[in-house]
Structure 1
Amino acid sequence: MKAQNKSKENFNFPKDRKTNIAVLVYDGVEIVDTGGPMDVFIKANNWNGNYNIYTVSASADKSTLMDGGTFNMLSKYSINDAPQADILIIPGTSPEIVHKVSADHKMMNWIVKQNEKTIMTMSVCTGGLILANTGLLDGRSATTHHWSLDELRSHPKIKVQETTRFVVDGKFLTGAGVTSGIDVALQAIEIIHGKDVADDLALGMVYDRYNTMEFLPKK
């Protein structure tokens, strides 16, 4: 199974302005988790999209040291001055860093506050654990990286999905890990613009959006 879709939301995106897409970043954030979804929306802008895509740093100085210490990103905003997002994307990281960032009450409160007015809230990989730690996924179906499913199960109110690349439940879209962030973003494009547009974008990215999770070892 590729995806579980339980969305009954009416996604009413603004027609009189650009849709704000905020990508939350923090020290140690995974590069593909971050860049994959952003690239989908950037390419959607090249098609006929109307997206204002920006990063939001958890640090006040807007500086983020990416996964592996590979490069330092300077975000457009920090959580102190970021505008309200229409779509909020939370990328993942290693489990150890998940625990560290989840203890950042200011960042976690910012996620909760932003979510009050988002049209979509998305996570990639262990970003789903960060989202779960806010309590926002309680009562929802969700997924995360297959190595972190047990930790997601530690939240008894979340209906954990194990064999899918992403899950849509209401306004929440959660991806299974790393490259599945591209799937999540393409699914958002499909919801907003239709399947043909999402498929065309995937074709341009040379990306097989109809892949499955069947490669995982059988338990």
Structure 2
Amino acid sequence: MKIIQITLANLLFFIGLQNINAQSITNDKFSFANDRKINIGVLVYDGVEIVDTGGPIDVFVKANNMTNKYRIYTVSATDKKQVVMDGGTMNMVSQFSIFDAPQSDILIIPGTSPEIVATISKDKKMMDWIIKQNEKTQITMSVCTGGLILANTGLLDGRSATTHHWSLDELRSHKKIKVKEETRFVADGKFLTGAGVTSGIDTALEAIEIIHSKDFADNIARGMVYDRYNEMEFLK
């Protein structure tokens, strides 16, 4: 009996050690500054989807209300800082443009209709800006068809990623990307890609969990009356 107790104690210690090592490995992937606020840059452009944009912003605003740790701002894709959002129902005036925006620690790329994605992906200045920002981001995040914009930069080559379920075939046309479906988001290294619209909330909560903790992210989700653990079976 005594031998069994010792063995069990050693096993529990080993499991605990494994959990500590896993936490250490996770933390080592990211290096957020402690001496300043974390910059959250949200790329916006004419036709950008409202919930793709507002969902992640709301998550970080709520986290900032609790921590005062974040600097959240929008960045227009052109030097015209007034942006007409999806359906022409809302106008936004961004704080910055791609010509004067600070370096983001977390870059968020919301989506829009595939037709607009195809058009704006031809904007070399915007695409080059995304690539340049990505060189120093800790997390680069897309929401919905923002994943197609990110794919068109080539930054997702060799990575796993997802996008809106209606645009998965378009993502599959990028042969170097490992396309995942029936998931709310995919995390691969520093890249977080959300499946569509409301999944931007899930993706932002995942970033919050990385930076703070699961309990912290869950608390924000409860405050938003949002179930971050719901399944994707309803799509079948």
Q: Give TM-score scaled by structure 1 length.
A: 0.95
1:173 corresponds to which of 192, 203, 216: 192
Deviations 1:122-179 (A, max 9, x none): 0000000000000000000000000000000000000000111000000000000000
Match of 1:138 in 2: 157
Q: Percent identity?
A: 76
Matching residue of 2:89: 70
Cα distance in 1 for partners of 2:140, 2:107 equals: 5
Q: 1:60 aligns with which of 79, 82, 94?
A: 79
Decide which of 52, 55, 71 is 1:33's aligned counterpart.
52
Q: Which protein has the larger Cα radius of gyration, Structure 1 or Structure 2?
A: 2
Q: CA RMSD in A?
A: 1.0
The residue aligned with 1:129 is 148
Structure 1 distance, partners of 2:42, 2:223, is 23
Amino acid of the structure 1 residue aligned with 2:75: V
In structure 1, distance between residues paired with 2:210 and 2:68: 13
Are 1:113 and 2:155 matched, yes or no?
Answer: no
Q: CA deviation at 1:211?
A: 0.6
Q: Which residue number in structure 2 is paired with residue 99 of structure 1?
A: 118
Which structure exhibits the higher relative contact order, with contacts defined as CA atoms closer than 8 Å and separated by 6 or more residues? 1
Structure 1 unaligned residues grouped into runs of 5+? 1-6
1:45 and 2:57 equivalent?
Answer: no
SS in 1 for 2:197: coil
Q: Deviations over 1:169-218 (max 9, x none)?
A: 0000000000000000000000110000000000000000001111112x
Query: How many pairs were matched up?
Result: 211
- Which residue of structure 1 aligns with residue 217 of structure 2? 198
- Structure 1 segment 5-24 matched on structure 2, within 5 A: 10-24=29-43
Quote how far apart the aligned CAs of 1:116 are: 0.4
Runs of 4+ in 1 over 2 A off after TM superposition: none
CA distance in 2 between partners of 1:214 and 1:12 (Å): 35
